[in-house]
Amino acid sequence: MPKAPSSPTLDLVGVTEIAQRAGVASINVVYMWRKRHANFPPPYVELAMGPVWLWESVEAWLAKPRPNGRPRRVAQDAGEPASRRRGRAESAPSALA
């Protein structure tokens, strides 16, 4: 009987496999990456059991440098980080001036 031609296989991963391959202790880290990083790859497919990615796309994202910690939120009305706006009056003198 002739051998069937080999077809390329897809390396599909869910959040558990991503966490394991990335060396993080919890799948919650993967959920945080999705939420906090707009450039995290979109799932290849969404199934009833959850999102599934091509490992190749996640691996490429992991290889890119990212800033540590949470991304800074920018205040929409003032164009500066919200953390700098909170609790400051517009006319308050700067301590550095």
Name the nearest CA neighbour of 58 among 76, 82, 37, 81.
37
Average pLDDT over residues 32-40: 93
Q: Does the pLDDT at position 2 exceed 80?
A: no
Does residue 53 fall inside a structural domain?
Answer: yes
The range of the structural domain enclosing residue 24 comes to 12-67
Does residue 3 fall inside a structural domain?
Answer: no
Residues near 56 by beta carbon (within 8 Å), at least 6 away in sequence? 11
DSSP state letters, 44-87: SEEETTEEEEEHHHHHHHHHS---SSSPPPBPTTTSSBHHHHTT
Please give the tally of structural domains in the chain.
1
Tell which wins on pLDDT, 85 or 12.
12
Does residue 24 fall inside a structural domain?
Answer: yes
Name the nearest CA neighbour of 18 among 30, 6, 32, 10.
30
pLDDT tens by residue, 49-91: 999 999 999 999 999 987 776 666 665 555 555 555 455 455 5
Does residue 78 fall inside a structural domain?
Answer: no
Does residue 42 fall inside a structural domain?
Answer: yes
